Amino acid sequence: MKVIKLIHNKDCHIWQVAKKLLEESLEELSLPKKYEVITINTGEEAEKYKFFGSPQILIDGKDIDPLAAGIKKFQISSCRAYFYKGKFSEYPSKEMILSALKGGENNG
């Protein structure tokens, strides 16, 4: 079973959209709707979860966004940007979430 974490900070409210898309994706793949929601409140928590912006989805400890692999500075920042298949968004697309849940390579 995959360990899924939906991580956000208190200043970004767009994480609710990511939560809805995550739940839809889990349902579509007939996977259990089991995931942990974590709110980042300190710099130490940001370091622990390799958090650099809200919302963030980790599957088995890996950010679903392949562009995140190069990030080395973690902090409590506000919202984050996603770029997937040439499109910008304030949250991960359902397509990106589905690809990560299936274990496939994301095409950023």
pLDDT digits (tens, 9 = 90+) for 88-97: 999 999 999 9
pTM: 0.88
Domain assignment present for residue 106? The answer is: no
Domain count for the chain:
1
Domain assignment present for residue 55? The answer is: yes
Q: Per-residue pLDDT for 29 more than 80?
A: yes
Residue 100 token pair: 């990560």
**CA 93 – CA 95 distance, rounded (Å):** 5
Domain assignment present for residue 107? The answer is: no
**CA 7 – CA 98 distance, rounded (Å):** 17
Q: What is the pLDDT of residue 104?
A: 61
Is the previous residue joined to 55 through a cis bond, with omega within 30 degrees of 0? yes
**CA 17 – CA 107 distance, rounded (Å):** 21
Confidence band of 106 (pLDDT split at 50, 70, 90): very low
Q: Per-residue pLDDT for 101 more than 90?
A: yes
Domain enclosing residue 88, as ranges: 4-101
